[in-house]
A and B are shown apart, each in its own frame.
Chain A
Amino acid sequence: MSSETTQPAAARADGIWKVYGHGEAQVHALRGVSTAFDRGRFTAIMGPSGSGKSTLMHCLAGLDTVDAGHVFIGDTQVTGLGDAGLTKLRREKVGFIFQQFNLLPTLTAEENILLPMAISGRKPDPQWYDLVIKTVGLGDRLSHRPTELSGGQQQRVACARALVARPEVIFADEPTGNLDSRSSGEVLNFLRSSVHDFGQTIVMVTHDPRAASYADRVIFLADGSIVDELEKPTEGSVLDKMKSLDPGQSPDAATGGADV
């Protein structure tokens, strides 16, 4: 393991199982997954379609319940929390970036960024806010509504929104899945700099080896289990790893799956 400090991980899975359905139709989406996400690191989760990436992320974030095992965010045990506890957790410790539909159409970009703070009745630290806004690089488009922004700009707004509240950990499920490579680059750069410059913890699900190469560490999931991991990945090393894990699947097919 790559844990460099003794302080608790930002997020941790402890032998979690997730089973969908009954009898014949039963699917083991997660089979005893244990892993930890250290503070201030950018982790990518990769794996073939249906391997359980999204499921793992939803369980980590407390959006879904697990059938066995435990999940921790910081020192909070997520498993077993009720709706009120989960709401509090989402307000204070977790940030989300989804593949699409991240923003409320009725609010401006700026209002969207400030929404989680407003919801929990907090004021953003002005210096921090300015820094995030500068990094997100939207400049004069802050007063625009989502429909007036490009897909890449929208995703950067979503990133800024996740960042402003300084959560323990940000979960991103294929945040660049709908973007072209240039926009993807902008978003990924922003994510990486928020980890390296501001010490944010980010967990990102992706199909794209190039996106994974922005991370500090990649874990590979197959059939509900962690099968491998890679420190300091490059696009090439990730591709090689994918080939070795699933010789039948070409990287092109894997990247193509991101649009599904």
Chain B
Amino acid sequence: MLRATLKSLLARKLRLALSAFAVILGVMFVAGSFVLTDTLGRSFENMFDSAYAHTDVVVAPKPKVDGQYAGDSSPVPGVLTAADQAKIEAVSGVVAAHPIAEAEGARVIGSDGKVVTTVGPPRLGSNWIDGVGGAEIRDGHAPQNDNQVVLNVEQAKKAGLKVGDQVTVLTPGGKRTFELAGTFGYAGGLDGRGGVLEVRFTDKVAQELMLGEPGAYTSFDVDVAPGQSAAAVRDAIAAQTGGAYEVKTGAELAKSIADQFKSVLDGLNKVLLGFGGVALFVGTFLILNIFSITVAQRTKELALTRALGASRRQMIGSVLAEALVVGLTGSVLGLLAGLGVGWVLAMVAANVSGLILAPIALPMSAVIAAFSVGIVITVLAALLPALRASRVPPIAALQEVATPDRPLTKLSVGGGLVTAAGVALMGYGLTGDGHLWPMLGGVMFAFIGVALLSPLVGKPVVAALGRLFSWSVAGKLGRLNSGRNPRRTAITAAALMIGIALITAASTVLTSGDESLRGAANREVHADLLVTGQNSTDVMPTFTRSTMDDIRKIPGVASATSEVYARAMIGKNGHGVSIIDDLPAMAAQFSLKPASATSGTLSALGPNDAIVDTETAVDEGVRVGDTVKVVLPKGDPVEFRIAAIYAENDFYGGYLLGSAALTHLVSPDPAVATITLAGGASESAVRDQVGRLLADNPEVSVMTKGEYLDQASGQIGTLLTMVTILLALAILIAVLGVIITLWLSVLERTRELGLLRAIGLGRAATMRMITVEAVVITLFGTLLGLATGVGMGAAVVRSLKGEGITDFAVPWSQLTAYLVAGALVGVFAAVLPSIKAARTDVLKAIAYE
């Protein structure tokens, strides 16, 4: 039996190669994402290991603000002084504690006048200390006075600056121009630490510009006496200073930072695996279809085998063995391809970020995932066709081959039930805080259910679609062919449906989000201009506080408010807070209203007043008139009076503090300003004037409300494009399915094609016939996908009502574009099969068997 199986495998190598191709693509995606994240993870590890290789122990202050709130990973820098340094240097085993004053937000303006940007890594400003952390001057010399700085080699290259040039740096403490005294790198020939861009000043300038506090430091780099272990000294410092500091060895620090990166990579891996999963899910349909068609076409052969005495079990075994071979081959090749793809992507990522890539390796996780996924999926998909093969009666060998049109009742009832289960699961997954797994399971069930229903739905839809093309004979024949085998057409179309549905759902949700934002902006925002920056790192670009005074002086400006984001401890909890310099004006600009008649007023608020939204007030147990103690990153606790409790809206929630908080921040510079114009003032004139005030700050710009909303739409468009690109593989596999199905159909209908050619159907018309069949299938799949996708999108939008997505919008223009793309995909898929059909040799086709 095995030999017979292998022989029949070889006889059908093309279609098996094609089904293996689907496995290869899916496995490639999965394995590739493991390889990518593993390689990047090890690269980060190596990078931080080498970055801290020359650091024995680091001492940092316990942060005043336990600043870890959602979305924030870096703790608030606290402040150390020379007194702390003396304390630490007194500990036995400590040779020296080098004081470091470092903070994020030193942005260099390059020779082209633009701010040097990074994709992710921070832009740090600190003081230069010879030899600490393995830093070494490469060119020129260390900063010798307050007008000199050094840049790391990578930064100097990016900025296009040479030693001796003037270099302008934007810092939290303002903009300043220096002389570039030199460039530096790190031991081991590194030009920087993994894409981090650095500016090193003298101690005094670093303290002034980066920390806003003379004599302050952020950490100490401790040298350990020869013969002492870093861990022992760490413990000694901790013990002898009474736990006043956070003390870590260089190795620990490297690990904890690398772990942060790794958790980001883990998230990335999950997202990629999700998309890989979709591709494999679609691949299942394709394999199922290929095996079904093959079994159908081999009915006679299978029946003969049965007649010769093969048992049912042997029949199932032979089909599954075939699937196993396909799955195994696909997994091995997919794994290799994944290794290649992962490596290439890692190289691209390294190139963009300046990371030094660790040697490529095949992680065990990739191997396990590749084989389990590849084989399990193929065998699962072949199970149904295998059962069908085992049910072929021996008598079929003698009968005329006619695939009877089995009734669809059972299938449709099953489909209905599965769809209902899927919808219910999805509904459950979307309620409350959201449950990811039920939701994903629901989506999968819904897809399977719709796929099962699709033969039933397909009959009328395919007939109606086909009618569009029936004006020519070729079109009519194509239409009839696509209606010929409802299950085959339906499965092929359903595979395409999945990708289209997910894109459509994403598009629906994002469009609804965009619409909701626009709606909310039009309802709630009464400001006309917005000043804000583009942030490429965690830190939002800011502009100098004095600019606010200049803006308020511009004729035509009715009110202008600014906002500074900060982290603060309020009571026992860390909060992200906004400090607003003119709370009443801001409340008016964003339609903030007191939550109830007893919630205070928003019209007269002083510098020491704070307002808070209802939900936070309940959570924190604060009431109007209460005084709260607020610890800001710098300085001592400040008391604020809760002047009002406001109803949260689409733009504001949480604590909003008055201007008294400004002096307790590292930098009072605002990240955002909103401007309301006086009646009759020209928007563009004011906009231009504000623009001129910001001219020397290339990272910050002024926008009208409309421009801001368009920019938000643009970002949504970018997100959608990314989702589409990631789903392209699933769609590609579905298109592959269309090609294979058509190809097999063409083979199956060789005789008919010969006949048609013999009675005068031209080559072009033959190709048109196949193309119409393909387009009908892909259009059907697209329509199914659009309908399912809009449905899923609507469900998600409903569940996001509380998150500010209040309007449901159907992205008609996108849907139309997808429909057109669906038709084009059909034309594309038809190319090979239609050439094959047009090449049918009439003589061979009509030769009697």
Interface check B751, CB cutoff 8 A: yes
- Closest chain A CB from B385 CB (angstroms): 23
Interface check A19, CB cutoff 8 A: no
- Closest chain A CB from B840 CB (angstroms): 12
Tell me which of A99, A120, A121, A161 has the highest count of chain B C-beta atoms within 10 A of its own C-beta: A120
Chain B 268-306 near chain A by CB (<8 Å), digits 1 or 0: 000000000000000000000000000000000000000
Interface segment, one of A21-29, A111-119, A131-139, A214-222: A111-119
> Which of chain A's residues have a CB closer than 8 A to the CB of B757?
87, 90
> Which of chain A's residues have a CB closer than 8 A to the CB of B368?
none
> Which of chain A's residues have a CB closer than 8 A to the CB of B480?
106-107
Q: Are A106 and B481 neighbours in the complex by a CB distance under 8 Å?
A: yes
> Which of chain A's residues have a CB closer than 8 A to the CB of B83?
none
Interface check B755, CB cutoff 8 A: yes
> Which of chain A's residues have a CB closer than 8 A to the CB of B397?
none
Interface check B484, CB cutoff 8 A: yes
Interface check B519, CB cutoff 8 A: no
Bound-complex Cα distance A118 to B474 (A)? 9
Bound-complex Cα distance A151 to B506 (A)? 55
Known: A99-B848, A100-B848. A115 touches B759 (CB 8 A): yes
Interface check A1, CB cutoff 8 A: no
- Closest chain A CB from B607 CB (angstroms): 83
Q: Are B477 and A104 neighbours in the complex by a CB distance under 8 Å?
A: yes
Bound-complex Cα distance A63 to B484 (A)? 29
- Closest chain A CB from B102 CB (angstroms): 77
Interface check A253, CB cutoff 8 A: no
Number of contact residues on A: which range applies? Answer: 20 to 34
Q: Are B760 and A101 neighbours in the complex by a CB distance under 8 Å?
A: no
Q: Are A161 and B759 neighbours in the complex by a CB distance under 8 Å?
A: yes
Residues of B365-408 at the interface with A, using a CB-CB cut-off of 8 Å, are 402
> Which of chain A's residues have a CB closer than 8 A to the CB of B758?
63, 90, 96, 98
Interface check B756, CB cutoff 8 A: yes
> Which of chain B's residues have a CB closer than 8 A to the CB of A107?
480
> Which of chain A's residues have a CB closer than 8 A to the CB of B763?
83, 87
Q: Are B484 and A91 neighbours in the complex by a CB distance under 8 Å?
A: no
> Which of chain B's residues have a CB closer than 8 A to the CB of A99?
848
- Closest chain A CB from B469 CB (angstroms): 14
Interface check A31, CB cutoff 8 A: no
Chain B 741-766 near chain A by CB (<8 Å), digits 1 or 0: 00000000001100111111111010
By beta carbon, the residue of chain B nearest A83 is B763
State which of A63, A101, A116, A119 has its C-beta within 8 Å of the C-beta of B751.
Answer: A101
Q: Are A118 and B473 neighbours in the complex by a CB distance under 8 Å?
A: yes
Interface check B307, CB cutoff 8 A: no
Known: A63-B842, A101-B846, A102-B755. A90 touches B473 (CB 8 A): no
State which of A63, A98, A104 has its C-beta within 8 Å of the C-beta of B756.
Answer: A104
> Which of chain B's residues have a CB closer than 8 A to the CB of A104?
477, 752, 755-756
Q: Are A119 and B843 neighbours in the complex by a CB distance under 8 Å?
A: no
Bound-complex Cα distance A115 to B752 (A)? 13
Bound-complex Cα distance A120 to B762 (A)? 9
Interface check A147, CB cutoff 8 A: yes
Residues of A66-97 at the interface with B, using a CB-CB cut-off of 8 Å, are 83-84, 87-88, 90-92, 95-96
Interface check A241, CB cutoff 8 A: no
- Closest chain B CB from A224 CB (angstroms): 17
> Which of chain B's residues have a CB closer than 8 A to the CB of A84?
762
State which of A64, A116, A147 has its C-beta within 8 Å of the C-beta of B759.
Answer: A116
- Closest chain B CB from A3 CB (angstroms): 28
Residues of B450-502 at the interface with A, using a CB-CB cut-off of 8 Å, are 473, 476-477, 480-481, 483-484
Bound-complex Cα distance A24 to B476 (A)? 48
- Closest chain B CB from A108 CB (angstroms): 11
State which of A105, A119, A147 has its C-beta within 8 Å of the C-beta of B473.
Answer: A119
Bound-complex Cα distance A21 to B346 (A)? 57
State which of A64, A95, A120, A147 has its C-beta within 8 Å of the C-beta of B843.
Answer: A64
Chain A 144-161 near chain B by CB (<8 Å), digits 1 or 0: 000100000000000001
Number of contact residues on B: which range applies? Answer: 20 to 34
Residues of A22-50 at the interface with B, using a CB-CB cut-off of 8 Å, are none
Bound-complex Cα distance A102 to B481 (A)? 17
Bound-complex Cα distance A36 to B817 (A)? 60
Tell me which of A95, A105, A119 has the highest count of chain B C-beta atoms within 10 A of its own C-beta: A119
Bound-complex Cα distance A98 to B759 (A)? 11
Q: Are A63 and B843 neighbours in the complex by a CB distance under 8 Å?
A: yes
Q: Are A87 and B762 neighbours in the complex by a CB distance under 8 Å?
A: yes
Known: A106-B477, A119-B473, A119-B765. A87 touches B752 (CB 8 A): no
Tell me which of B476, B477, B760, B842 has the highest count of chain A C-beta atoms within 10 A of its own C-beta: B760
Q: Are B755 and A119 neighbours in the complex by a CB distance under 8 Å?
A: no
Q: Are A120 and B760 neighbours in the complex by a CB distance under 8 Å?
A: yes
By beta carbon, the residue of chain A nearest B480 is A106
> Which of chain A's residues have a CB closer than 8 A to the CB of B756?
104, 119
Known: A99-B848, A101-B846. A116 touches B760 (CB 8 A): yes
State which of A64, A91, A98, A106 has its C-beta within 8 Å of the C-beta of B760.
Answer: A91
> Which of chain A's residues have a CB closer than 8 A to the CB of B473?
115, 118-119, 121
Bound-complex Cα distance A106 to B762 (A)? 19
> Which of chain A's residues have a CB closer than 8 A to the CB of B481?
106
> Which of chain A's residues have a CB closer than 8 A to the CB of B848?
99-100, 260
Bound-complex Cα distance A92 to B760 (A)? 8
Q: Are B759 and A96 neighbours in the complex by a CB distance under 8 Å?
A: yes
- Closest chain B CB from A123 CB (angstroms): 13
Q: Are B477 and A98 neighbours in the complex by a CB distance under 8 Å?
A: no
> Which of chain A's residues have a CB closer than 8 A to the CB of B483?
106
By beta carbon, the residue of chain A nearest B761 is A119
> Which of chain B's residues have a CB closer than 8 A to the CB of A100?
848
> Which of chain B's residues have a CB closer than 8 A to the CB of A90?
757-760
Bound-complex Cα distance A104 to B761 (A)? 13
Bound-complex Cα distance A104 to B755 (A)? 8
> Which of chain B's residues have a CB closer than 8 A to the CB of A88?
760
> Which of chain A's residues have a CB closer than 8 A to the CB of B765?
119
- Closest chain A CB from B300 CB (angstroms): 16
By beta carbon, the residue of chain B nearest A118 is B473
Bound-complex Cα distance A119 to B481 (A)? 16
> Which of chain B's residues have a CB closer than 8 A to the CB of A260?
848
> Which of chain A's residues have a CB closer than 8 A to the CB of B477?
104, 106
- Closest chain A CB from B549 CB (angstroms): 81
By beta carbon, the residue of chain B nearest A100 is B848
Bound-complex Cα distance A91 to B751 (A)? 18
Q: Are A119 and B402 neighbours in the complex by a CB distance under 8 Å?
A: no
Q: Are B846 and A98 neighbours in the complex by a CB distance under 8 Å?
A: yes
> Which of chain B's residues have a CB closer than 8 A to the CB of A115?
473, 759
Q: A90-B760, A119-B761 known; 17 other A-B pairs, CB under 8 Å? A: A63-B842, A64-B843, A84-B762, A90-B757, A90-B758, A91-B760, A96-B759, A98-B846, A104-B477, A105-B752, A106-B481, A107-B480, A115-B473, A116-B759, A119-B473, A119-B759, A119-B760
Could you name 6 residue pairs across A and B whose Cβ atoms are closer than 8 Å? A87-B761, A90-B758, A96-B759, A99-B848, A105-B752, A107-B480
**Which A-B residue pairs are the 3 nearest by beta carbons?**
A91-B760, A106-B480, A90-B760
User: A interface vs B, CB < 8 Å?
Assistant: 58, 63-64, 83-84, 87-88, 90-92, 95-96, 98-102, 104-107, 115-116, 118-121, 147, 161, 260
User: B interface vs A, CB < 8 Å?
Assistant: 402, 473, 476-477, 480-481, 483-484, 751-752, 755-763, 765, 842-843, 846, 848
